[in-house]
Amino acid sequence: MWLYLAVLVGLYYLLRWYRERQVVSHLQDKFVFITGCDSGFGNLLARQLDLRGLRVLAACLTEQGAELLRNQTSDRLETVILDVTKTESIAAAAEWVKERVGDRGLWGLVNNAGTFPRHGCTEWLKIKTYMNTLQVNLIGLIEVTLSMLPLVRRARGRIVNVSSILGRIAFFGAGYSCSKYGVEAFSDILRRELQHFGVKISIIEPGYFRTVMTDVQKFSETMKQVWKEVPAHIKESYGQKFFDSYFDDMKQGILNCSTNLNLVTDCMEHALTSVHPRTRYSAGWDSQFFFIPLSYLPTSLADYILTRSWSKPAQVV
């Protein structure tokens, strides 16, 4: 019995490997619009797709980021300035894309732009931090998608939304996790609604990666500032010892993040170029072999595993 089961599993993965190796034809004629190309995943993906010969339309937040990207790529790549928190900026970018793709439509939309906000325990953060995070990571993604959707539908193309492992199992960063859970929900609904139009939706779920957003020095400074602004009665509840332990754990976590961003951009590239893209891509060894399996465990067991090393607040000890 076990032999038959092993054979069936082996055949399944062999068939999946064969299907996923099939590449879309005429890539050099296809346009891909990517948000958040100043640095990190977006910047690397833009350069990666440019090398594959695709027509990359890269959206950057700053002119400096756009100029740097143009200097690193071919003449095929074009850039536009985009702030995903501003409706007028999104509308202008959508019109800019429409002028370039014409009747061919937009083959790929990669919603990569995001922010990793000021960090701390849920009670330490102000509502403004939550609102800003949701505006960039979720509302901006939705508005960009809606503005580009007619062009993607015309090409029967692809939408690739960057979520996070924290969109599958949340254990810190309440605002960030909320935004990524929202990305997961929006992507699932969109995939089911657009399947009859031939549009495919993929979700990228990176584990821990070190990018500009998770710079250790910047992270340390902002977290200390968050703690400084916490009201006195809340500080008293948690205590300085708790903050110091929490701070050290978070800082060490960033230092242990992977710097191999290709693990993420290779997933994005596959979602755009494979005839049979996956619905979800878990990027990074920690995502595939720890967090995803953890998300299927009973909640009480997952809670214990994730919090067993945490210090106790002052008023609990």
Which range of 17-31, 108-122, 247-261 scores highest in mean pLDDT? It is 108-122
Total domain count for the chain? 1
**Per-residue pLDDT, 1:** 72
Structure tokens at 69: 């990207």
Exposed (0-12), middle (13-18) or buried (19+): which is 195, by Cβ within 10 Å? Answer: exposed
Kindly state whether residue 307 falls inside one of the protein's structural domains.
no
**Per-residue pLDDT, 317:** 53
Residue among 290, 45, 211, 159 nearest 282 (CA):
290
Kindly state whether residue 198 falls inside one of the protein's structural domains.
yes
CATH number at residue 281: 3.40.50.720
pLDDT over threshold 90, residue 66: yes
Instruction: Summarize the confidence of residues 186-191 as an average pLDDT.
Output: 96
Kindly state whether residue 274 falls inside one of the protein's structural domains.
yes
Q: Does the predicted TM-score (pTM) go above 0.85?
A: yes
pLDDT tens, position by position, 80-131: 999 999 999 999 999 999 999 999 999 999 999 998 877 888 999 999 999 9
Choice among 4, 12, 13, 176 that is catalytic:
176
Question: What does the alpha-carbon distance between residue 142 and residue 137 come to, in Å, rounded to a whole number?
Answer: 9
Kindly state whether residue 312 falls inside one of the protein's structural domains.
no
**Per-residue pLDDT, 223:** 86
The single residue listed with the structure tokens 């708790």 is 242
* Structural domain containing residue 176: 23-212+259-296
Kindly state whether residue 311 falls inside one of the protein's structural domains.
no
pLDDT tens, position by position, 219-251: 788 888 989 999 999 999 999 998 888 888 888
Q: How confident is the model at residue 214 (pLDDT cuts 50, 70, 90)?
A: low
Whether 238 is a known active-site residue: answer no
Kindly state whether residue 121 falls inside one of the protein's structural domains.
yes
- Which strand ranges, in their side-by-side order, compose the sheet holding 31-34? 78-81, 55-60, 31-34, 108-111, 158-162, 200-206, 280-283
Mean pLDDT of the chain: 90
The single residue listed with the structure tokens 């200097």 is 71
Kindly state whether residue 81 falls inside one of the protein's structural domains.
yes
Question: What does the alpha-carbon distance between residue 178 and residue 160 come to, in Å, rounded to a whole number?
Answer: 19
The single residue listed with the structure tokens 């710079």 is 215
Kindly state whether residue 304 falls inside one of the protein's structural domains.
no
